[in-house]
Amino acid sequence: MDRFSRILVTGGAGFIGSHLVDSLMTRGFRVRVVDNMSNGSPRNVGCWLNHAGFELSQGDLKDPDVATKSVQGVNAVFHLSANPDVRIGELDPSIHFRENLTVTFNLLEAIRKNETAKYIVFASSSTVYGEPNVFPTPEGYGPLLPISIYGASKLGCESLISSYCHTFNLKATILRFANIVGKRATHGVIIDFIRKLSHNSSELKILGDGRQKKSYLHVTDLVNAFSIVLNNIDKNESPQVYNVGSQDQIDVTRIAEIVCEEMSLHDVKHSLTGGVDGGRGWKGDARKMLLSIDGMLGLGWKPRLGSEEAVRLACKELLNSMPGHLSKP
């Protein structure tokens, strides 16, 4: 712990970031969070606001000066800041460029010029694989051909980080996430279904053909993975790339059934939109995703929950935390 006296978490007031902050603070680290609050909220880290070891800065890393100030005095950076909505790329591709690539470049430049911050853990995504033909998909799969703007921006961030590691001797770990679920989430299929059913409990509209099948991981399992890689960040050549996901899959129709069960709804009609491009929920939606997690298993990490268990627990958590008009009818 001594070598990481202060850790920066970008996007630390968001869904995943705030859970990571909870873990780091509980373990005794000093933590600085920078977040522009576009998807995060001070409430997510509210229990730490008066803690001497915690610092919250509301700032936008698209501003190079903010990035420079953010890394001052820190030893390691968990870079989670990004626009998490994959679908928005179809409407405005520039959002992912600015929020992912520009922010990552500014942060890397700040780290390069900094005397202490030489370690970075980057939150990437399974979307960098596009539509692979190997399942479970290993980290060495290629060529990487994303089918979404979001996936392309994440792959671009990975490339920038790799180049800075080799050019400026930074240490980095890149984590490619499966679909992460749990309390404090602000978007995703579970929330989408809860909201739809709260407005119409007799019929549920499902995007696509209902057969999209992917891996889901509960955020608590992801936080445990963060802890593992922090302990191993300087033991190998950089950058290291690891998939982080469950070892099974669940299709979107089964997720709909679980949400209905947790909301105590019966005989709900499932209305399938048919989707685009052969059953996708939207442009850029991969129909199938299952990651090989042998690398993380080799570090001693293993997910506690499978995909269906993670989805069910996340649904319970979200229903318990949502405002009255979004809770059980």
* Residues 192-224 pLDDT 10s: 999 999 999 999 999 999 999 999 999 999 999
HEC secondary structure over 46-85: HHHCCCCCEEEEECCCCCHHHHHHHHCCCCEEEECCCCCC
How confident is the model at residue 282, as a pLDDT? 83
3-state helix, strand, coil in the chain (%, to 5): 40, 20, 40
Plot region of 214 (φ>0 → left; ψ -120 to 50 → alpha; else → beta): beta
Is the bond preceding 136 in cis, omega lying within 30 degrees of 0? yes
- For residue 64, cis peptide bond before it (omega within 30 degrees of 0): no
Superfamily assignment of 2-180+217-244 in CATH? Answer: NAD(P)-binding Rossmann-like Domain (3.40.50.720)
Q: Average per-residue pLDDT in the chain?
A: 94
Could you report how far apart the first and last alpha carbons of the chain are, in Å?
Answer: 47
pLDDT tens digits, one per residue of 45-102? 999 999 999 999 999 999 999 999 999 999 999 999 998 888 787 789 999 999 999 9
pLDDT in tens, 110-146: 999 998 998 999 999 999 999 999 999 999 999 999 9
The pTM score is 0.95
148-187 per-position pLDDT tens digit: 999 999 999 999 999 999 999 999 999 999 999 999 999 9
Helix (H, G, I), strand (E, B) or coil at 27: coil
Residue % of the chain over a pLDDT of 70:
97
Exposure class string for 79-96: b at 16+ Cβ within 10 A, else e: bbbbbbbbbbbeeeeebb
CATH architecture of 181-214+247-287+306-326: Alpha-Beta Complex (3.90)
In this predicted model, what pLDDT tens digit does every residue of 232-253 receive, in sequence order? 877 778 899 999 999 999 999 9
The residues spanned by each domain of the chain are 2-180+217-244, 181-214+247-287+306-326
